[in-house]
Each structure stands twice: as structure tokens, then as C-alpha cells.
Amino acid sequence: MKIIREKTALDELKELAKEDYVSMIKAVIDIEKEIMAVGGELNADEEMLLLDDGSKQKDLWGINIEFEKPRSEWIVFDSLINVRPRNHNITRAIENPEIRQKIVEIVNKLVS
């Protein structure tokens, strides 16, 4: 697992993905710090890595990046860590379109 703070090559993500899923990688995005953790077996693993690094729970959202899809469709907004009734998100999907858009921007900024 690793925290990505700066532009990273897509090939590096694909290399990390080989350990678990091959054609996709799990990621957790900190929408406040605009960083992401990747490479865990579960989004909860990456979530813990970011929490240990000082991120706040309310800013963390889980996704999957599917390499075989076109870049415009490669982010899947689905993770168990997204279930947060307190934050008005009662499903595994990220329901807020503004949060989804922010995640797309962060991922596109960090992955070349």
C-alpha cells in the first residue's frame, strides 16, 4: 500500500494491482488533502493508512479504479467504507454528485 501525494504513472498503479486484483485497484481518496491511498486488499486497509497519516474520517471515500474501462468511466464509486448515515450516505455508493466530481478531479490530477 502507498499514499499518493503527487502525480503518479498509471503503470505504477497497475503494478501495485498485480498483488491482488490485476485489472483494478482499490483506492481511498482524502477529498480535503487531495491525496489517495492505493494497493490494499480492502478499502478499509487504505482508510486506516490515511487515518494513521492524519486524515479525518469525514474526508475519506472509497473507490475502485478499473483499468480496462475508458478513463471517463474507470472510477467505480462503491465501497463499504462509504456507508455513513450521519453524512447522508446510506449506501456503498457515493451519492453526493459534488463529492463524486471532486474525486474524479483528484484522481485525474494524481494519475497520469
Give me the phi and psi of 71, to 5 degrees please: -55, -30
Question: Any idea what DSSP says for residue 19?
Answer: T
CA–CA distance, 31 with 91 (Å, rounded to integer): 19
Contacts of 77 (CB under 8 A, 6+ apart): 61, 63, 93, 94, 100, 103
pTM above 0.85, yes or no: yes
Q: Per residue in 35-93, pLDDT tens?
A: 999 998 899 999 999 999 999 999 999 999 999 999 899 999 999 999 998 888 999 99
